[in-house]
Amino acid sequence: MREISVDELTLGMCLSKDIYNDLGNIILSQGTEISNKHLAYFQKHGIISIYIDERDNSVPAESHKAVKIYKFKDLNNAYAEVLGQFKEVYFNVQNKQHDFDVEILRPALEGLIEIVISDNDVLGSMRIIALNEAYHFTHAVNVSMLSAMICKWTGLENDMIYLAALSGLLHDIGKTKVPQELLYKQGEINEQEYELLKMHAKLGYESLKNNSSLPREVLASMLFHHERSDGTGYPSGLKEEQTPYLARVVAVADVFDAITSDKIYRSRVSSFKAFSIIKDESFRGLDPKISEIFLSNIAAFFINNRVKLSDGRVGEVVYINKYALNRPLIKVSNDFIDLSTDYSIEIDEVIS
């Protein structure tokens, strides 16, 4: 069996296994003969590789056995597994069981990282996952994936990528120690409630600092992911050079996911608006180098994406200028709108 690109598929090959969509429903059955319409479908849905049985090379095309790897289904399963294990840890910590062995998370988390960094499309992947779960659970897994990607883009080794993923997954575990109704509260929170929420960084660290299975980088990320380079962060008001590196990575991932997710008390903003916010925040407190690496890599994933503009029109992103990541060139019908020069129009939404 060998992996081939869908570009190498020829008409008449037959699927030897069912193909599923990301919800687990069969969309093409075993035995289906590949036609032009199927090739177009694969292209449209980002299916890039197929496994075929090499034994079939000597037999007529119609009996080729093609097995598709449906990346989204793999990703959904891996995401759900990590999410389930994270929830277990979350409820354990909430019930004061602080001595869990963090290594129980490793197999599932490594599986998720492998898929995410090989796919190289973390945002596209995250957008297709729609789980009916509370924000603070999906946020943990999203920040884990984004932190791993940032470390991969930075060129760090696998052990650091894993530590980043674990740091992202557990960064907000201290939220188990604040009044839970605050996590689900609708509408704005007042100053007193905000001060209570801010306690999560210190409470997470304090609760788990004696758990010897937790790497110190992960504990440091729990404690310091809200520090900012200008000293305005919490709990310690550290300056950039004093804040551990992985805590700064998690901070960028945390801000991006928070502002692009549907939260209870604030509707999400488009990823392009989020680029502007991250850029602005990098002048105020997020690590500028990490922000730059994050933005320049992640923006490229939006080429060819359809977007809804503030004037109601729908277009396609055709070019992203690295100096104006949040204001790309958009093709609408036969016209081009350069948002880097036309400030009367905004991107309201990226259409999945």
Q: Strands 26-28, 19-20: parallel, antiparallel or unpaired by DSSP? A: antiparallel
> Given the complex with Fe ion, which of 22 and 172 has the nearer CB atom?
172
Are 191 and 217 a contacting pair, CB within 8 Å? no
Structure tokens at 240: 């950039």
| Closest CB to Fe ion among residues 221, 282 | 221
Which ranges of 47-176 does DSSP label H, i.e. alpha helix? 71-94, 106-119, 122-128, 135-154, 158-170
Which residues are bridge partners to 337 per DSSP? Answer: 330
Summary count for the chain: helices (H), strands (E): 12, 11
Question: From CA 79, how far away is CA 125, in angstroms rounded?
Answer: 10
Instruction: Report how many residues bind Fe ion under the rule CB under 5 A.
Output: 1
Alpha-carbon torsion, ordered 87, 91, 93, 98, to 10 deg: -90
Q: Is residue 281 within the footprint of Fe ion (CB under 5 A)? A: no
Question: Which listed range, 134-142, 154-162, 171-179, 184-192, lies at the site for Fe ion (CB under 5 A)?
Answer: 171-179
Options 22-30, 107-115, 152-160, 168-176: segment touching Fe ion (CB under 5 A): 168-176
Q: Contact region for Fe ion (CB under 5 A) — 57-65, 98-106, 135-143, 167-175?
A: 167-175
Nearest residue to Fe ion on Cβ basis? 172
Q: Minimum distance between the CB of residue 172 and Fe ion, rounded to whole angstroms?
A: 4
3-state secondary structure of 233: coil
Q: For tokens 């059955």, name the residue.
A: 29
Least distance between Fe ion and beta carbon 206 (Å): 15
Using the minimum distance from each CB to Fe ion, give the nearer residue, 122 or 203. 203
Q: How far is the CB of 72 from Fe ion (least distance, A)?
A: 29
Tell me, what DSSP letter sits at residue 34? P
Closer residue to Fe ion (CB): 204 or 315? 204
Angle between helix 106-119 and 71-94 (nearest 10): 140
* Cβ proximity to Fe ion, 87 vs 308, nearer residue: 87
* Contacting residue, 22, 121, 172, 287, with Fe ion by CB under 5 A: 172
Least separation in angstroms between residue 273's CB and Fe ion is 21
- Nearer to Fe ion (CB atom), residue 205 or residue 301: 205
Query: What residue ranges bind Fe ion (CB under 5 A)?
Result: 172
